[in-house]
C-alpha cells in the first residue's frame, strides 16, 4: 500500500491567520474516514512521535490530518520552533476553535474523504477543545481524547489572577526550550466572555457521538482522575487506561527512534480498533 504524505499545507483562516497542516493517507479508490489530530498546550504538529503516529493511522486506512494552531507560537517558515512568542501570548480558546473549524472545512471537501465519517483526536488541552467542538459541530461523528483535560478553566487564581490583570502578562517557562512563554490577559478575558461555550463538562455530557477516552495512569500533567470524570459525565463513552503511561505516552521531543514508543503504540492501536468498530463498520 502506497502512503501519501502532504506536509506543510497552508490553511487560511480570516479570523486568525495562516497556519500549516499535514495529511497522511493511503493511495485508495475508496473514500476514507477523516481523522483530525488536535495538539495541546506548548504542542505542535511535528512534536515528538506524532509523524510516526500519523503513518500508523494512515496505513490502517484513514485520512489523517494534523495541524498547528495559528497562535501556538510556531510560524509558516519555522514550524518546529516557538519562533513567534507574541502570537503564543495572544492565543486563546476562541482562536483554537476557529482554527479547528477551518481545518474541518478544508479537508472535509477533499474527494478522498468520506464526509460522513469525521473523527477528532485531541491530546491534552487539545482534548478539551475537541470536546467543545464536537458538541457544537454536527459534522463530527467520533471523538477520541488522549490525556485530555476535563476543564478549560486552567488559569491563575486569587492574588495571582489579580497580578496577571494588573501586569497584563504572565510567563511560563518551557522546560525543554528554556523560553519564557507569555500569556496575555486577553486569554482570560476571552474565556470569561465565552465561558458557557468553553464548558468542557457540559459538552462532554451532551456529546452524542462515539466517544473514546484514553489516559495513562501515571500522567504527570493531567491526572487520570480527569479521564474518570469525563467517563462519568458521558457514561456511553469508553474508558481505556494505559497502566504506568505518562502524559505523552512515552514520546518526547525530539523522538529519534523509528518506532512508536510502546504506550503510544497501545493508544494508537486502541484508537484504530475503536474507529473501525464504532464508525467504519457500524
Contacts of 5 (CB under 8 A, 6+ apart): 22, 23, 24, 55
CATH number at residue 256: 3.40.50.1820
Please state, in angstroms and rounded to a whole number, the distance separating the CA atoms of residues 1 and 270: 22
Give the C-alpha distances (Å, rounded to integers) separating 182 from 71, 167, 170.
12, 12, 6
The three grid cell numbers given for residue 123, joined into one nine-digit string: 491530546
Domain residue limits at 33? 3-153+198-280
| Distance linking the first and last C-alpha atoms of the chain | 25
At 197-253, the pLDDT tens digits run 999 999 999 999 999 999 999 999 999 999 999 999 999 999 999 999 999 999 999
In a domain, 32, yes or no: yes
At 157-194, the pLDDT tens digits run 999 999 999 999 999 999 999 999 999 999 999 999 99
In a domain, 78, yes or no: yes
The three grid cell numbers given for residue 10, joined into one nine-digit string: 497552508
In a domain, 183, yes or no: no
Q: At what angle do helices 93-108 and 125-136 cross, to 10 degrees?
A: 60
Number of domains in the chain: 1
Please state, in angstroms and rounded to a whole number, the distance separating the CA atoms of residues 85 and 232: 37
Backbone angles phi, psi at 124, to 5 degrees: 60, -120
In a domain, 237, yes or no: yes
Whether the upstream peptide bond of residue 270 has omega within 30° of 0, thus cis, is no
At 133-166, the pLDDT tens digits run 999 999 999 999 999 999 999 999 999 999 999 9
Nearest to 112 by CA among 229, 251, 247, 6: 6
Q: What is the pLDDT of residue 1?
A: 81
Binning the chain into helix, strand and coil, the percentages to the nearest 5 are 35, 25, 45
Please state, in angstroms and rounded to a whole number, the distance separating the CA atoms of residues 215 and 240: 7
In a domain, 39, yes or no: yes
pTM over 0.85: yes
In a domain, 174, yes or no: no
In a domain, 140, yes or no: yes
In a domain, 186, yes or no: no
DSSP per-residue string spanning 199-225: -HHHHHHH--SEEEEEEETT-SSS-TH
Taking the mean position of all CA atoms in its chain, how far away is CA 118? 14
Amino acid at each position: 500500500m502506497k502512503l501519501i504524505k502532504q506536509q506543510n499545507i497552508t490553511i487560511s483562516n480570516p479570523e486568525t491567520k495562516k497556519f500549516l497542516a499535514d495529511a497522511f493517507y493511503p493511495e485508495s479508490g475508496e473514500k476514507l474516514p477523516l481523522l483530525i489530530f488536535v495538539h495541546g498546550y506548548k504542542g505542535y504538529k511535528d512534536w515528538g512521535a506524532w509523524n510516526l503516529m500519523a503513518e500508523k493511522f494512515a496505513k490502517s486506512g484513514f485520512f489523517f490530518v494534523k495541524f498547528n494552531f495559528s497562535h501556538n507560537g510556531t510560524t509558516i517558515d519555522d514550524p518546529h520552533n516557538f519562533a513567534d512568542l507574541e502570537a503564543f501570548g495572544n492565543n486563546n480558546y476562541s482562536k483554537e476553535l476557529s482554527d479547528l473549524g477551518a481545518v474541518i472545512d478544508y479537508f472535509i471537501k477533499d474527494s478522498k474523504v468520506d464526509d460522513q465519517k469525521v473523527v477528532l483526536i485531541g491530546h491534552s488541552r487539545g482534548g478539551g477543545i475537541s470536546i467543545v467542538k464536537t458538541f457544537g459541530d454536527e459534522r463530527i461523528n467520533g471523538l477520541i481524547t488522549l490525556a485530555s483535560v476535563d476543564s478549560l478553566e486552567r488559569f491563575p487564581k486569587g492574588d495571582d489572577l489579580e497580578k496577571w490583570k494588573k501586569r497584563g502578562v504572565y510567563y511560563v517557562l518551557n522546560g525543554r526550550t528554556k523560553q519564557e512563554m507569555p500569556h496575555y490577559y486577553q486569554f482570560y478575558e476571552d474565556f470569561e466572555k465565552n465561558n458557557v461555550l468553553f464548558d468542557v463538562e457540559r459538552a462532554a455530557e451532551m456529546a452524542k457521538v462515539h466517544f473514546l477516552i484514553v489516559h495513562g495512569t501515571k500522567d504527570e500533567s493531567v491526572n487520570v482522575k480527569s479521564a474518570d470524570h469525563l467517563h462519568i459525565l458521558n457514561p456511553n463513552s469508553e474508558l481505556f487506561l494505559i497502566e504506568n503511561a505518562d502524559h505523552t505516552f512515552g514520546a518526547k521531543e525530539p523522538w529519534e527512534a523509528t518506532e512508536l514508543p510502546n504506550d503510544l503504540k497501545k493508544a494508537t492501536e486502541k484508537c484504530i480498533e475503536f474507529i473501525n468498530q464504532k464508525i467504519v463498520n457500524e
